[in-house]
Amino acid sequence: SQAPLHTLLAQVGVLMWAMRLPLFAIRGVSVVGDVTHYNAATLRANVIPRLRGTFFTLDVNEARTLFEAMPWVRQAVVRRDFPNRLKVQLQEHQAIAFWGAEGDSRLVNSFGEVFEANVGEIESDNLPRLIGPEGQSAQVLAMHHTLGPLLLPLELKLDQLELSPRGGWRALLDTGTALELGGGSAPELVARLERFLKTATQATSRYHRSVEQLASVDLRHTDGYAIRLNGVSTLNADEIKKR
């Protein structure tokens, strides 16, 4: 009975030895998924030297963590590909906006998550800037998606949207116009903005100006809004409040 046991232990020993042979060292990576910032060669050069173990002894979760630590990688699924390769399905961050005060290079992805990457690799050079308390990026992005389309009929665009710590919303248009939107729910902000947009052209034309020449708009009034125009030094807010 001892012989079979010794034989079994010997077989296990041989197997453990074989699993660590250089033959099974990870040598290649196959990449699938919608990937624009990485290819197999880049991943192989950056990740494989940091992998520990062979095809059999590799910790797949540890390998996933290494892939997800790379800039632009949001999620990685790692599988073994016999005898010495890995198949990696990557999901990259899609940069939707900048996050934080002017000069902050952090980005917001399509899920409203904040991430860091090389700004020089951004495909679009016209991303809006979102500002708000930490942990509120998804809420600010959602509000941007809600308010932005309302401006399209007037060919205006939200360049910046900010949520203050007290819950107030401020925006900056691509024309340089500052909008004080006030606090409240998304429907409340939509109602205020729509009220302004319906009469914006009429309000500015009274002073022989265009909507693009608005310096600021305060939508926090319960029964109207107040505007300040570029090139007009003084204005009586009561005169231009729209009811």
Residues, the chain: 243
CA angle 89, 94, 98 (to 5 degrees): 145
Contact of 31 with 46, CB cutoff 8 Å: no
HEC assignment per residue over the chain? CHHHHHHHHHHHHHHHHHHCCHHHECCEEEEECCCCCCCHHHHHHHHHHHCCCECCCCCHHHHHHHHHCCCCEEEEEEEEECCCEEEEEEEECCEEEEECCCCCCEEEECCCCEECCCHHHCCCCCCCEEECCCCCHHHHHHHHHHHHHHHHHHCCCEEEEEECCCCCEEEEECCCCEEEEECCCHHHHHHHHHHHHHHHHHHHHCCCCCHHHEEEEECCCCCCCEEEECCCCCCCHHHHCCC
Residue 22: band (very low, low, confident or very high) from pLDDT cuts 50, 70, 90: low
Per-residue model confidence as pLDDT tens digits over 169-215: 999 999 999 999 999 999 999 999 999 999 999 888 887 888 999 99
pTM over 0.85: no
Residue 28: band (very low, low, confident or very high) from pLDDT cuts 50, 70, 90: confident
224 or 236: whose pLDDT is higher?
224
Residue 237: band (very low, low, confident or very high) from pLDDT cuts 50, 70, 90: very low
Q: Count CA within 13 A, CB hemisphere, residue 218.
A: 11
Strands 106-109 and 158-163, by their bridges, are unpaired
Residue 11: band (very low, low, confident or very high) from pLDDT cuts 50, 70, 90: very low
Identify the pLDDT of residue 39: 83
Per-residue model confidence as pLDDT tens digits over 92-135: 999 999 999 998 999 999 999 999 999 889 887 799 999 999 99
Per-residue model confidence as pLDDT tens digits over 141-171: 999 999 999 999 999 999 999 999 999 999 9
Identify the pLDDT of residue 81: 93
| Spatial distance between the Cα atoms of 107 and 117, rounded to a whole number of angstroms | 8
